[in-house]
């Protein structure tokens, strides 16, 4: 095609005369300059021909709407206005003439003007047409059935009263202790219950009056790590037949229980090791079957814990019964004593809330607080000096003093009152203060001296030991946190007396103890060693209940074991104290046979009045005394001027430095012998036994062991039992521990005979020696030769008798570096012989 035949469009062609721009027409909203405004909010409520929005000013409409919304009687005033318009109709079928004043409007605008909804206007019109002259009062809402929600609330209530624990106030170190000391917010310990519909309203305590009246319930803490683990616990609860969904469970927890059932966080108390381990196993489980298996094991663990809690609550109620302390019921009732110690964060002395950082960083001694709660009678709190040892002596002394107070109170009530013949001692599960042989011997001595016919010592499972006494400690901590200045132990005691109210109107006693009685030294005369009371790494399952009773109250079918060889030939007596143990408080059967714990003939030979002496204090170092004296000087200067605190610190440091031991309060009941009553069996609280529990550690009452360290033995009886370097075991043949040539062993003549090896006795390590020799303590003169001369080859007997070998130099004939250093310094008889070998002492082998 030729170029001349191509025709371009007019807008492209350069020769076109017509302009395309003239033919293009734009929409009116683009060409016109006038823009139509959008409808206002008032216009959106009126689309009628009356154009009601144009009859009223916008500001006045908004002002009227706000006043209507703020009027609590808005519905009543709107009803009267509608009632007037309904009555003005010409007939019943006529339409309502909607008007605002004299201005006629449409219904949507009337509703907008009066800030009322369309459905509400329909209801008011129906009431007006029905002949109502007044707006009827709104009735109560019909109750809705919430059976499932109520059922899960009952389950949470059981968790709150049983499995949960009081506030875990514990001192986790210097920094946390300073933080706890300044806490004074009651919301950390209690929660306000609003309304009688709350499940805990019946358990709340009213505080304040008038507008300040509140109902408070104590917060409690769970060993669960999260809500998911708590849901797993609920899901595997076999007591619940119809379980709610996870959504209903979560709603019920968030509505009523989230603020009172708290989860323990890191550093907040001590979690149960079993619960923590199972939570971690559940978190790491990769399959549904593994999670279910862990949840079932944890459910079983909680069933045991709940059963122990039930026993604890049941014994509390029995002790608080008003008829418990009547003389007529003494042989069949039980009194419960609970003993425990509080954390030390609140008792740094002196205490001043207005102090500066330099004051809080100063060395301040910490008092000890131990409480004894006698259910149904009184609460006794003991403030002890900082240098008092927290051991079994402290618990035994506090319980003895509390028993004297109880007996004095009952004697003041009249001759018809007396302590029951059975007692329960609930203590913290710690070997330092309670779960040891001395505390058990103390309980057994009370039975032997006939103050009680039987005593049960109960321990909660480790990690679940928070009890009613810990809840009282939380109250004391709150009281002390608000005290501005406390200078001496007596000031702390006075603060507790004035601000702490005892439970159920019982008596409150607060005492300051300067020292305790040394029960341990007195009980050592019994030559009694009770092993197996506490758990170990290899044997983690221990018994949680000890029962002490006299032989006369035992069933004749029970066989009493005697494990102490020194007591095997002693005659049986009705007053012999027998110990029986159970693995858990709720176990229905004993974990082992009863055994003799304290023979009568041995117990009567010890006079408590002369044998019981004050216990030694914990002697402080010179550096600590120096720091405490600096604190005394600081608090006595400006601006603090705490003169009483300065004097108390100086006196306390001087007494500790000069080793002054003050006399504790005189004991009465423990030093006497009680009178016997007609025997009656102690009520059996156990009602749940879960089989297949791990067997607990065996408790054995034996003779007391003698210290086996070389330094504790007499010089004449010190003998070496370790083989020397020359006497290696056959298994060590060929090994060169000294870097030289390997020594030649008996029978090692590079042939296959091996006759000499079979003829020579194999040497044993000291750890493999006969344990009977080790347990007997100090060898006698007749036995010393046998112990010191084990069967060894004749040519090496001199080396075995002379050379001392420790665990590091048993293969080094001349001794290791440490032993050679001791021989150079002639430390405790170490020396070198003529050949340069390390010896401990010279021995004449000839």
pLDDT tens, position by position, 620-668? 999 999 999 999 999 998 888 899 999 999 999 999 999 999 999 999 9
Task: Give the model's confidence band at 559: pLDDT under 50 very low, under 70 low, under 90 confident, else very high.
Answer: confident
Cβ neighbours of 453 (radius 10 Å):
25
pLDDT of residue 338: 95
Q: What is the 3-state secondary structure (H, E, C) of 277-307?
A: HHHHHHHHCCCHHHHHHHHHHHHHHHHHHHH
- The residue among 774, 755, 754 whose CA lies nearest residue 764 is 774
Which of 46-60, 187-201, 303-317 is the least confident region? Answer: 187-201
Max mean pLDDT among 267-276, 467-476, 514-523, 718-727 falls in: 514-523
In this structure, the chain runs to a length of 846
Cβ neighbourhood burial of 336 (10 Å; 0-12, 13-18, 19+): buried
- The residue among 343, 342, 349, 345 whose CA lies nearest residue 651 is 349
pLDDT of residue 194: 75
- Confidence check: pLDDT of 334 > 60: yes
- Confidence check: pLDDT of 687 > 70: no
Whole-angstrom distance, CA of residue 334 vs CA of residue 318 = 7
Whole-angstrom distance, CA of residue 68 vs CA of residue 74 = 6
Q: Identify the helix (H) or strand (E) that includes residue 424.
A: strand 422-427
Whole-angstrom distance, CA of residue 309 vs CA of residue 311 = 5
Q: In sequence order, what are the residues at sequence separation of 6 or more whose Cβ sits closer than 8 angstroms to the Cβ of residue 276?
A: 223, 225
Tens of pLDDT, residue by residue over 471-518, are 788 788 878 888 889 999 999 999 999 988 887 768 999 999 999 999
Tens of pLDDT, residue by residue over 597-608, are 999 998 888 888
| CA end-to-end span of the chain | 141
Which of 49-58, 217-226, 291-300 is the least confident region? Answer: 217-226
Determine the average pLDDT of the residues in 317-328.
91
- Bridge pairing between strands 422-427 and 334-341: parallel
Report percent pLDDT > 70 for the chain: 73
Task: Give the model's confidence band at 170: pLDDT under 50 very low, under 70 low, under 90 confident, else very high.
Answer: very low
Q: What is the largest CA-CA distance in the chain?
A: 147
- Confidence check: pLDDT of 782 > 70: no
Task: Give the model's confidence band at 54: pLDDT under 50 very low, under 70 low, under 90 confident, else very high.
Answer: confident
Tokens encoding 545: 């209940």
Q: In sequence order, what are the residues at sequence separation of 6 or more whose Cβ sits closer than 8 angstroms to the Cβ of residue 335?
A: 319, 324, 325, 374, 375, 376, 377, 406, 419, 420, 422, 423, 424
Whole-angstrom distance, CA of residue 551 vs CA of residue 559 = 11
What values do phi and psi take at 793, rounded to 5?
A: -60, 145
Determine the average pLDDT of the residues in 754-772.
40
307 close to 586: Cβ distance less than 8 angstroms: yes
pLDDT of residue 500: 87
pLDDT of residue 790: 41
Q: In sequence order, what are the residues at sequence separation of 6 or more whose Cβ sits closer than 8 angstroms to the Cβ of residue 560?
A: 551, 554, 578, 593, 594, 595, 596
- Bridge pairing between strands 454-459 and 422-427: parallel
Max mean pLDDT among 167-176, 571-580, 773-782 falls in: 571-580
**CA distances from residue 735 to 661, 743, 756, 810 in whole angstroms, order as listed:** 58, 8, 19, 13
Quick one: how far is CA 385 from the chain centroid?
A: 25
pLDDT of residue 462: 81
pLDDT of residue 185: 45
Whole-angstrom distance, CA of residue 239 vs CA of residue 254 = 23
Mean pLDDT of the residues in the chain: 77
Whole-angstrom distance, CA of residue 230 vs CA of residue 152 = 12
Q: In sequence order, what are the residues at sequence separation of 6 or more whose Cβ sits closer than 8 angstroms to the Cβ of residue 774?
A: 708
E-state strands within 592-680: 595-598
Tokens encoding 679: 């025997």
pLDDT of residue 706: 53
Whole-angstrom distance, CA of residue 168 vs CA of residue 465 = 10
Tokens encoding 37: 């405004």
Cβ neighbours of 140 (radius 10 Å):
5
Quick one: how far is CA 28 from the chain centroid?
A: 82
- The residue among 563, 560, 556 whose CA lies nearest residue 548 is 560
**CA distances from residue 839 to 637, 720, 805, 831 in whole angstroms, order as listed:** 60, 10, 9, 5
- Decide: helix, strand or coil at residue 794: helix
Whole-angstrom distance, CA of residue 551 vs CA of residue 265 = 48
| Degrees to nearest 5, angle at CA 712 with 519 and 810 | 140
Max mean pLDDT among 87-101, 154-168, 178-192, 722-736 falls in: 87-101
pLDDT of residue 786: 39
Tens of pLDDT, residue by residue over 255-264, are 889 888 888 7
Determine the average pLDDT of the residues in 544-558.
89
Q: Quick one: DSSP state of residue 165?
A: B
Tokens encoding 382: 């003991």
Q: What is the 3-state secondary structure (H, E, C) of 294-353?
A: HHHHHHHHHHHHHHHHHHHHHHHHHHHCCCCCEHHHCCCCEEEEEEEECCCCCCECCEEC
Name the residue ranges covered by the structural domains of the chain: 43-129, 148-312, 321-679, 711-839
Tens of pLDDT, residue by residue over 613-630, are 999 999 999 999 999 999
- Decide: helix, strand or coil at residue 499: helix
Q: Residue 623, preceding bond cis, omega within 30 degrees?
A: no
Place of tokens 């425990």: 340
Cβ neighbours of 621 (radius 10 Å):
8
Task: Give the model's confidence band at 344: pLDDT under 50 very low, under 70 low, under 90 confident, else very high.
Answer: low
Which residues share a beta bridge with 100? 103
- The residue among 274, 294, 264 whose CA lies nearest residue 164 is 264
Tokens encoding 782: 């007749």
pLDDT of residue 346: 67
Residue 294: half-sphere exposure toward Cβ, Cα within 13 Å = 19
328 close to 420: Cβ distance less than 8 angstroms: no
Which of 228-237, 366-375, 580-589 is the least confident region? Answer: 228-237
pLDDT of residue 702: 80
Helices (H) and strands (E) in the chain, counts: 26, 22
Task: Give the model's confidence band at 527: pLDDT under 50 very low, under 70 low, under 90 confident, else very high.
Answer: confident
Q: Residue 350, preceding bond cis, omega within 30 degrees?
A: yes
- Confidence check: pLDDT of 730 > 60: no
pLDDT of residue 335: 95
| Residue 828 backbone zone (phi > 0: left; psi -120 to 50: alpha; other: beta) | left
Whole-angstrom distance, CA of residue 731 vs CA of residue 476 = 65
Whole-angstrom distance, CA of residue 727 vs CA of residue 722 = 10
Determine the average pLDDT of the residues in 552-581.
89
Whole-angstrom distance, CA of residue 428 vs CA of residue 430 = 6
- Decide: helix, strand or coil at residue 28: helix
Whole-angstrom distance, CA of residue 717 vs CA of residue 816 = 25
pLDDT of residue 73: 86
pTM of the model: 0.63
Q: What is the 3-state secondary structure (H, E, C) of 601-646?
A: HHHCCCCHHHHCCECCCCCCCHHHHHHHHHHHHHHHCCCCCCHHHH
- The residue among 683, 672, 600, 598 whose CA lies nearest residue 421 is 683
Whole-angstrom distance, CA of residue 624 vs CA of residue 152 = 56
- Please give the radius of gyration of the chain, using alpha carbons only, rounded to the nearest integer: 43
Determine the average pLDDT of the residues in 100-109.
88
- Confidence check: pLDDT of 241 > 60: yes
- Bridge pairing between strands 220-222 and 261-263: parallel
Q: Quick one: DSSP state of residue 818?
A: H
Q: Quick one: DSSP state of residue 617?
A: P
pLDDT of residue 594: 94
Whole-angstrom distance, CA of residue 557 vs CA of residue 434 = 31
Task: Give the model's confidence band at 694: pLDDT under 50 very low, under 70 low, under 90 confident, else very high.
Answer: low
Which residues share a beta bridge with 99? 104
**CA distances from residue 202 to 146, 158, 193, 605 in whole angstroms, order as listed:** 20, 14, 10, 56
Which of 206-215, 302-311, 444-453, 813-822 is the least confident region? Answer: 206-215
pLDDT of residue 654: 96
Place of tokens 């601006």: 639
pLDDT of residue 794: 40
- Confidence check: pLDDT of 337 > 80: yes
- Confidence check: pLDDT of 394 > 50: yes
- Confidence check: pLDDT of 752 > 50: no
């Amino acid at each position: 095609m030729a170029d001349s035949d191509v025709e371009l469009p007019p807008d492209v062609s350069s020769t076109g005369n017509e302009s395309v721009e003239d033919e293009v027409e734009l929409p009116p909203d683009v060409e016109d300059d006038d823009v139509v405004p959008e409808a206002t909010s008032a216009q959106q409520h009126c689309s009628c021909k009356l154009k009601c929005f144009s009859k009223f000013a916008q500001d006045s409409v908004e002002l009227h709407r706000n006043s209507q919304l703020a009027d609590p009687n808005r519905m009543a005033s709107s009803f009267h206005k509608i009632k007037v318009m309904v009555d003005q109709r010409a007939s019943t079928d006529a339409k309502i003439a909607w008007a605002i004043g004299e201005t006629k409007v449409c219904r949507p605008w009337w509703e907008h003007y009066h800030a009322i909804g369309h459905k509400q206007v329909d209801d008011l019109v129906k009431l007006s047409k029905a002949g109502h002259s007044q707006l009827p009062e709104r009735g109560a809402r019909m109750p809705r059935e919430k059976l499932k929600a109520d059922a899960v609330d009952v389950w949470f209530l059981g968790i709150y009263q049983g499995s949960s624990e009081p506030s875990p106030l514990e001192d986790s170190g210097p920094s946390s202790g300073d933080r706890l000391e300044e806490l004074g917010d009651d919301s950390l310990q209690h929660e306000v219950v609003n309304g009688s519909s709350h499940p805990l309203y019946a358990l709340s305590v009213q505080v304040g009056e008038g507008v300040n009246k509140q109902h408070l319930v104590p917060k409690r803490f769970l060993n669960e790590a999260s809500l998911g683990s708590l849901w797993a616990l609920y899901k595997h609860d076999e007591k619940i037949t119809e379980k709610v969904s996870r959504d209903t469970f979560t709603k019920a927890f968030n509505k009523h229980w989230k603020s009172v059932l708290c989860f323990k966080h890191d550093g907040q108390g001590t979690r149960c090791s079993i619960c923590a381990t199972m939570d971690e196993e559940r978190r790491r489980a990769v399959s549904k079957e593994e999670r279910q298996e862990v949840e079932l094991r944890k459910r079983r663990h909680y069933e045991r814990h709940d059963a122990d809690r039930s026993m604890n609550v049941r014994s509390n109620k029995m002790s608080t019964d008003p008829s418990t302390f009547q003389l007529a019921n003494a042989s069949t009732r039980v009194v419960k004593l609970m003993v425990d110690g509080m954390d030390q964060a609140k008792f740094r002395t002196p205490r001043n809330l207005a102090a500066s950082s330099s004051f809080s960083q100063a060395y301040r001694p910490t008092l000890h607080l131990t409480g004894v709660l006698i259910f149904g009678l009184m609460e006794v709190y003991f403030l002890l000096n900082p240098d008092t040892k927290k051991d079994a002596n402290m618990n035994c002394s506090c319980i003895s003093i509390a028993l004297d107070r109880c007996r004095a109170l009952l004697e003041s009530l009249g001759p018809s009152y007396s302590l029951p013949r059975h007692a329960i001692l609930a203590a913290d599960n710690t070997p330092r203060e309670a779960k040891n042989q001395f505390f058990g011997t103390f309980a057994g001595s009370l039975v032997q001296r006939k103050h009680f016919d039987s005593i049960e010592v109960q321990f909660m499972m480790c990690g679940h030991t928070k009890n009613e006494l810990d809840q009282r400690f939380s109250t004391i901590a709150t009281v002390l946190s608000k005290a501005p200045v406390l200078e001496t132990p007596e000031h702390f005691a006075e603060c507790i007396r004035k601000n702490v109210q005892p439970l159920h109107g019982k008596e409150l006693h607060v005492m300051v103890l300067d020292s305790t009685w040394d029960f341990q030294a007195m009980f050592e005369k019994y030559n009694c060693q009770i092993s197996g009371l506490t758990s170990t790494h290899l044997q983690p399952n221990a018994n949680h209940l000890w029962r002490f009773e006299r032989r006369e109250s035992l069933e004749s079918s029970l066989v009493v074991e005697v494990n102490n060889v020194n007591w095997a030939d002693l005659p049986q007596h009705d007053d012999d104290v027998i110990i029986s143990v159970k693995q858990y408080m709720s176990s229905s059967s004993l974990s082992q046979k009863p055994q003799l714990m304290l023979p009568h003939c041995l117990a009567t030979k010890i006079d408590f009045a002369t044998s019981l002496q004050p216990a030694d204090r914990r002697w402080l170092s010179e550096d600590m005394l120096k720091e405490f004296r600096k604190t005394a000087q600081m608090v006595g200067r400006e601006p603090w001027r705490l003169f009483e605190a300065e004097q108390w610190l100086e006196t306390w440091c001087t007494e500790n430095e000069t080793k002054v031991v003050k006399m504790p309060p005189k004991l009465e009941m423990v030093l006497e012998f009680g009178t016997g009553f007609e025997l009656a069996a102690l009520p059996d609280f156990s009602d749940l036994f879960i089989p297949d529990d791990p067997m607990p550690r065996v408790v054995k009452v034996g003779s007391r062991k003698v210290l086996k360290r070389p330094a504790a033995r007499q010089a004449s009886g010190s003998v070496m039992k370790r083989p020397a370097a020359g006497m290696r075991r056959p298994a060590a043949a060929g090994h060169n521990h000294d870097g030289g040539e390997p020594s030649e062993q008996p029978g090692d003549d590079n042939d296959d005979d091996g006759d000499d090896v079979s003829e020579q006795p194999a040497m044993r390590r000291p750890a493999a020696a006969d344990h009977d020799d080790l347990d007997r303590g100090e060898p006698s003169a007749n036995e010393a030769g046998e112990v010191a001369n084990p069967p060894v080859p004749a040519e090496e007997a001199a080396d075995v008798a002379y050379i001392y070998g420790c665990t590091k130099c048993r293969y080094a004939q001349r001794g290791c570096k440490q032993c050679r250093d001791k021989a150079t310094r002639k430390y405790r008889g170490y020396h070198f012989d003529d050949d340069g070998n390390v010896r401990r002492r010279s021995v004449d082998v000839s």
